[in-house]
Amino acid sequence: DQQVKQNSPSLSVQEGRISILNCDYTNSMFDYFLWYKKYPAEGPTFLISISSIKDKNEDGRFTVFLNKSAKHLSLHIVPSQPGDSAVYFCAASGGYNSGGSNYKLTFGKGTLLTVNP
Amino acid sequence: ETGVTQSPTHLIKTRGQQVTLRCSSQSGHNTVSWYQQALGQGPQFIFQYYREEENGRGNFPPRFSGLQFPNYSSELNVNALELDDSALYLCASSLQRRDTQYFGPGTRLTVL
């Protein structure tokens, strides 16, 4: 049972335009969400995170939106650059706000973003 | 500041053998988590170590075991290797258990 889903295996956008990557989750215990970027032959690189007490978090060109009622989050990249081309993983963790003890990350399968010059 | 490092980069083993993978956490980080990433999949949580104690385990059999040392570096041991163990093994460290996890480059294990 996949608790974090990224339904689009790939996305292609033009340089300078907005990239929107989507992620859905099923586990209502998740209260902390992260996006990672991964280049081939490298480990995932942390991009941005959001706690369930917020609905938006922004860091430079990257903004993450969280819709708790829909159990949906999205990552917006504006403007997109060719160097953003990579696989993007959505990840979720539980217990962040409730003082749990295990902060394992549950990942989606990833979305391959290609930004064309 | 040195990030998370892992060794070796690549490893080839045969079925039934044992393997040890190593991870050095980022300076000051006391929590290490291990993940397995099969081809075309997202990383899957194996286990987490916090201050040298196992702090949670994913759905992996007991032949996957680990250690965390006083300097917070860590090892992942896999006994009786199976073909399906072929994957990228990722180590991540965090300042405290609930903090953001930062990943190393991974170890690519191939089991023949």
pLDDT number for residue A101: 56
pLDDT number for residue A99: 55
Interface test with A, best of B60, B90, B101, B108 (most A CBs within 10 A): B101
**Would you give the distance in Å from CA B96 to the centre of its chain?**
17
* Class of residue A52 by CB neighbours under 10 A (exposed 0-12, middle 13-18, buried 19+): middle
Instruction: Reply yes or no on whether the pLDDT at A102 is more than 80.
Output: no
Nearest CA among A90, A105, A86 for reference residue A42 = A86
- Does residue B98 sit at the A interface (CB-CB below 8 Å)? yes
Residue range A77-85: average pLDDT? 97
Query: How many residues does the structure list for chain A?
Result: 117
The mean predicted confidence, pLDDT, of chain A is 93
pLDDT number for residue B44: 96
Inter-chain residue contact A101 with B94, CB threshold 8 Å: no
Residue range A79-108: average pLDDT? 85
- Residue A14 phi/psi, 5-degree rounding, is -85, 145
- Does residue B97 sit at the A interface (CB-CB below 8 Å)? yes
- Cα A93–A107–B64 angle (5° rounding)? 90
Nearest CA among A85, A14, A101, A92 for reference residue A51 = A92
Task: For residue B41, give the chain A residue with the closest CA.
Answer: A109
Partnered with residue A22 across adjacent β-strands are A74
pLDDT by 10-residue block (mean), chain B, 112 residues? 89 98 93 94 94 90 96 95 97 86 96 96
